[in-house]
Structure 1
Amino acid sequence: MTRIDYVISAKDSLFGNYTISDGQRDAPQNDNYYTMYVPLRTQTLGVQETHVFSPTVVNSTILGWVRPYASSVTQPNGTGPAIPANLIFLPPGNPGQIVIGGGASTVVPSSVTPAPGVNPLRDVREFFSLADDLRFTKGKHQFSAGVWAQRIHENHVGNPQFSAGGVSYPSMLAFLQDIPGQFNVIRNPVALGYRSTEGAWYFQDEMKLRSNLTLRLGLRHEMTDGWNEVTGRCTNYRFDKDFVISTQPVSGPSCLDENHAKLLLQPRVGIAWDPTGRGTWAVRAGFGIHNDLQDILGNRAYSNPPFSAREQPSGPLLSIIPVQKNAPLAPTCGTSGAPPLPACGFYAPA
């Protein structure tokens, strides 16, 4: 961690700080032969310049940068027997997931401790922000106004589930007979980069109505340009007029059908009252509208086909594996011209 304070002149001062934090989380799994390894790194940089125009007018400008990084892999930790290469679902890579008497993934309780293997994934997010606040006093009024803008980069490489393949069996008998309930695999995870720009402005008036009564009125306007993929590869499923989900996703620059976050007006009202006038206790009340600008949608849209598609081939597991990387996706079941099962493919909406 580094911090710098510098007084430029009687009216200007500068403050800056930089922090970097590294971490490593090794999480044992229910299957003791597997461990989840998660290296982490977070960096932050902030610079603030304050300028005093007069005893009643002060302005502050802030520049910020934040970059959290994390990667994750769940793989054998070397304490158990080696997995034969011919049982790797998606070579070359880690052993995949096997669930007996449970759901499709290892996060659902099962009758037998599942093997939770996945291939490496990496997520990087960056936030670039700029803010400016002006505060000035005139008579009984204390005014404040400001603007804020933030650019978001979110990059995904890999997938947290089924990147090494995953098979589920309804019972031990089905496992011994190789009759899986479901097999999922993401054979070609594509690196995707999501982008969003958020902004806001506000104005506030804090009025000293009486010596023991203060009223605060304000308005904040927030906005965003939506959630977009940097090369136009955002895919999502749509519903038709009868609310039937499509079998093929729509692909384009934006992940949203319509951006409803262009004009988010948020009023603010607050009051502070000192009943006795002696400062021993006070009554405070406030009202405001607050919106949550969603900026972590990548993990929901990432696994939609045709990029990083989650496939569900049918049939005995030993007839499916090994699954080949970079092979073209089978036509979606139920679409025009698609072959019958098991030659066609199912792709799960995220």
Structure 2
Amino acid sequence: MSRYLPVLLIGVILLCGNAVSAQVTTATIAGVVQDSSGAVIPGVSVTTKNVETGVTRTAKTDEGGRYTVPELTLGNYEVEAQIPGFQTEVRSGITLTVGRSALVNFALKVGQIADKVTITEEAPLVESTTSAMSSLVDERTIRDLPLNGRSWDNLALLQPGVVSVGAGQGSAAFDFGTGTRFNVNGSRAYANSFLLDGTDINDHANGTPGGSAGTNLGVDGVQEFKINTSVSPAEFGRSSGGVVSAVTRSGTNDLHGAGFEFLRNNALDSPGYFDEVEHGGTGTKAPYRRNQFGGALGGPIKKDKTFFFGTYEGLRQGNGTTIGPEVPTAQTKLGIIPYKAFQGTDPSLYNCHPGDTACTVPVSPVIKPYLDLFQTPNTRDLGDGTAFFIAAPLQVTKEDYAMGRVDHQISDKMRIFGRYSFDNDTNVIPNFNGSSLADEHDVARRQYSTIQVTNVFRPTLVNSFRFAYNRTYQNFDDVLSDPRAEKLFFLPGEHFGTISFGGQGLSTNPLNFLGVDNGAPRIYRYNLFQEGDDLTYIKGRHSIKMGADIRRIQDNEITSSNSRGDYTFLDIPGFLTNKPIRFDAPAPGSDAYRGLRETMFGTYLQDDFKVSQRLTLNLGLRYEAISNPREVNGRMANLLNLSDPAPTVLKDSFFSVAKKDFQPRVGFAWGLNGSGKTILRAGFGIFHDHILPYSYAAFASGYPPFFTTLSDLTNPVFPYDTNLTAGPPPPPQFGGFPTGAIREAS
């Protein structure tokens, strides 16, 4: 497998809007202090105060009158500048959003320091110090905009350059991610990075996070998020697409809370056009019941020192679905079938001729209990021994989300916060794909935890360390819903498998498959351990940031197929007379569990150089490397050459990954005039997509010799095939290389 090609992003744009700076969860206040004549004033004491928590930070202007206060928590601020011989000036009404670098300049007047001038005015919203492009979804947008389903990631679709896309690789399932998929400026949906409080929350599929319900609840616990669309600073890596950075809410000195419930019910809906009898409907409405409820509470534990915030949200939904499997008629179950039912079996064996509508075929006693498992049709006979069973079973979804966060100001130079979020949800799809005896159960559990410590060593030197443990568990499997099937099985220790018609797999014709999904179960336990450290240093015109990040990836998964056995019958007569044409099942002793392991390392250096009041250069370099992917128990094999007779057992890793991912970032932001309202930006960057488990996990479980699917195409015996041999491999979608002698890599 080769590495994805680097993506080159070059953008030049004239705009009035926000752009992200090099902070993931914090913001910066910077500016210049001058006197009334325009001369810069060094040595001015500049104090920033978060008006909601009372936390303050102080810096002094340098010889050029410049000051910078980095790594500030988000919220509303006031900034005070004072020095003997001049009046004290206070700027209020400054709102810091994620990644913002607010420009707050002062023009001090001669006077007594006790004289105070307060200016209530928002700092200019146009970001004037970065070449990066982004869009902010702020707190007001999150709270006030109507959000159907209350999944905060849907707000990303309102941003420029973000386009919703379809499933692409597959349906919206755990294999490929269940969240809302979108492209950012043309990048692929699985090339995006998702950060929560600065730590990685991408799941094993590398798609938009989402549980079995496909939602990201907890909108009341998200303060805001920003989508970085192009030319990200060197601090950002891992992938070539967009960077979605969300920040959770924290408590303040005021106690605030909220509660809510949203109700939708078909009893409150008007009938649809096709529900009405005169338009072919039944006169009834499809069942739909949805309740979302919860609340949030935040406030002080100790004023100006310790704060808490917590939120809970629950979802309960029942949604009517439609199924229409093709099932045998009552006559077919008795062995009376028309000539059209013969779709491969020789009709002359049963004295059946073209035009005959009631040919007699003996029904095998072995087949009878399986034949009785089909639903009774409720539509007209299709003329081939089948009819449709139309029904609208209720799909039930349940989700519970909770998040708690505590912030503590240890001293005026050190603060710490910890956050834990938990999301547990289930989605029961009744009669999966028309199955008469099984429901699909999708189960997901997501747990995200982060601790971050920020130290202000001195006003110009700030360090931030973070640790995260994020875990996602996703499992879809079919659960038998018909008690009659509980004692019917094809393999020892397994429940009912799959019976296919016409071709192997989830057939729909000549009969709908009987049993369970032959691709189940799919189980993913994805653990991410992340440690990172960022150091910010302010020196004159330079704002330098450097750091390192390590992510340890554990993807424990089962993605086997045919694990419960899959019988295939050519047509209805072949089924009635118990003449299967193939049987697919794992070889005895096959183990589909795989523990995939990788470690990603990244380090960077970024310098934002203030050439003048109107021109800032953004210069950065990032280096990333990822370890060679391996399986923790040594179950690794691959077909190294197409001419090889069998896969090769690998010793150390699945394959080797190059370690040459240097990623320069260069850009500038130039104010075209002194108003600060018109900024010209240009940027260049190299970004890499890495070979993560989602790239190869789908086939890792199916590699011989550790897992082999055998096929009996000569003399399969139903329902217990004692003649199973290593025949030709099953269709490619079920994995597996040709079986044969296995050789070991040298």
What TM-score do you get using the length of structure 1 for normalisation? 0.82
For 1:277, the equivalent position in structure 2 comes to 674
Corresponding position: 1:302 with 2:701: yes
Corresponding position: 1:72 with 2:473: no
How many angstroms apart in 2 are the aligned matches of 1:171 and 1:210?
Answer: 80
- Change beyond 3 A, Cα 1:48–1:180: same
- Change beyond 3 A, Cα 1:84–1:50: closer
Q: Contact between 1:271 and 1:285, CA under 8 Å: does it hold in 2?
A: yes
How many angstroms apart in 2 are the aligned matches of 1:140 and 1:62?
Answer: 28
Q: Deviations over 1:121-162 (max 9, x none)?
A: 532111101000111121222111110001111112x44521
For 1:142, the equivalent position in structure 2 comes to 543
How many angstroms apart in 1 are the aligned matches of 2:508 and 2:663?
Answer: 43
What is the root-mean-square deviation in Å for CA atoms of aligned residues?
Answer: 2.7
Deviation of 1:165 (Å): 1.7
Q: Contact between 2:486 and 2:496, CA under 8 Å: does it hold in 1?
A: no
For 1:10, the equivalent position in structure 2 comes to 412
For 1:98, the equivalent position in structure 2 comes to 499
**Which one of 554, 567, 572 corresponds to residue 167 of structure 1?**
567
Q: Deviations over 1:54-87 (max 9, x none)?
A: 1111110010101111222113323xx72384x5
What TM-score do you get using the length of structure 2 for normalisation? 0.40
Equivalent positions of 1:96-245 (< 5 A) are 96-102=497-503, 104-106=504-506, 110-115=509-514, 116-118=516-518, 120-156=521-557, 158-169=558-569, 171-172=571-572, 175=575, 182-187=582-587, 188-239=590-641, 243-245=642-644
Corresponding position: 1:264 with 2:667: no
- Change beyond 3 A, Cα 1:30–1:10: same
For 2:654, the equivalent position in structure 1 comes to 255
Deviation of 1:114 (Å): 2.3
For 2:736, the equivalent position in structure 1 comes to 349
- Change beyond 3 A, Cα 1:246–1:292: farther
Q: Contact between 2:449 and 2:468, CA under 8 Å: does it hold in 1?
A: yes
Q: Contact between 2:549 and 2:603, CA under 8 Å: does it hold in 1?
A: yes
Q: How many residues align?
A: 322
- Change beyond 3 A, Cα 1:176–1:267: farther
How many angstroms apart in 1 are the aligned matches of 2:571 and 2:673?
Answer: 73
Structure 2 residue identity aligned to 1:23: D
SS of alignment partner, residue 689 of structure 2: coil
Q: Contact between 2:444 and 2:475, CA under 8 Å: does it hold in 1?
A: yes
How many angstroms apart in 2 are the aligned matches of 1:342 and 1:30?
Answer: 28
Deviation of 1:179 (Å): 6.0
How many angstroms apart in 1 are the aligned matches of 2:724 and 2:585?
Answer: 15
Corresponding position: 1:30 with 2:424: no
How many angstroms apart in 1 are the aligned matches of 2:542 and 2:670?
Answer: 16
How many angstroms apart in 2 are the aligned matches of 1:49 and 1:43?
Answer: 21
SS of alignment partner, residue 545 of structure 2: strand
For 2:229, the equivalent position in structure 1 comes to none
Deviation of 1:219 (Å): 1.0
Q: Deviations over 1:233-277 (max 9, x none)?
A: 2122221xxx42442442433111x222x2211111222222233
- Change beyond 3 A, Cα 1:248–1:32: closer
Q: Contact between 1:38 and 1:72, CA under 8 Å: does it hold in 2?
A: yes
For 1:291, the equivalent position in structure 2 comes to 688
SS of alignment partner, residue 611 of structure 2: strand
- Change beyond 3 A, Cα 1:31–1:237: same
For 1:332, the equivalent position in structure 2 comes to none
- Change beyond 3 A, Cα 1:305–1:218: same
Name stretches of at least 5 consecutive residues in structure 1 with no aligned partner: 325-340
How many angstroms apart in 1 are the aligned matches of 2:598 and 2:612?
Answer: 45
SS of alignment partner, residue 299 of structure 1: helix
- Change beyond 3 A, Cα 1:269–1:99: farther
Q: Contact between 1:255 and 1:301, CA under 8 Å: does it hold in 2?
A: no
- Change beyond 3 A, Cα 1:206–1:155: same
Structure 2 residue identity aligned to 1:279: G
SS of alignment partner, residue 620 of structure 2: strand
SS of alignment partner, residue 89 of structure 1: coil
Q: Contact between 1:38 and 1:71, CA under 8 Å: does it hold in 2?
A: yes
**Which one of 35, 45, 51 corresponds to residue 455 of structure 2?**
51
- Change beyond 3 A, Cα 1:129–1:105: same
Q: Contact between 1:178 and 1:317, CA under 8 Å: does it hold in 2?
A: no
Structure (1/2) with the larger strand percentage: 1
- Change beyond 3 A, Cα 1:219–1:182: farther
Structure (1/2) with the larger helix percentage: 2
Deviation of 1:312 (Å): 2.1
SS of alignment partner, residue 210 of structure 1: coil
Name stretches of at least 5 consecutive residues in structure 2 with no aligned partner: 1-402, 730-734, 738-746
- Change beyond 3 A, Cα 1:223–1:109: farther
Larger radius of gyration: 2
For 1:327, the equivalent position in structure 2 comes to none
Identical positions, percent: 30
For 1:336, the equivalent position in structure 2 comes to none
- Change beyond 3 A, Cα 1:323–1:208: farther
Deviation of 1:15 (Å): 0.9
Q: Contact between 2:583 and 2:713, CA under 8 Å: does it hold in 1?
A: yes
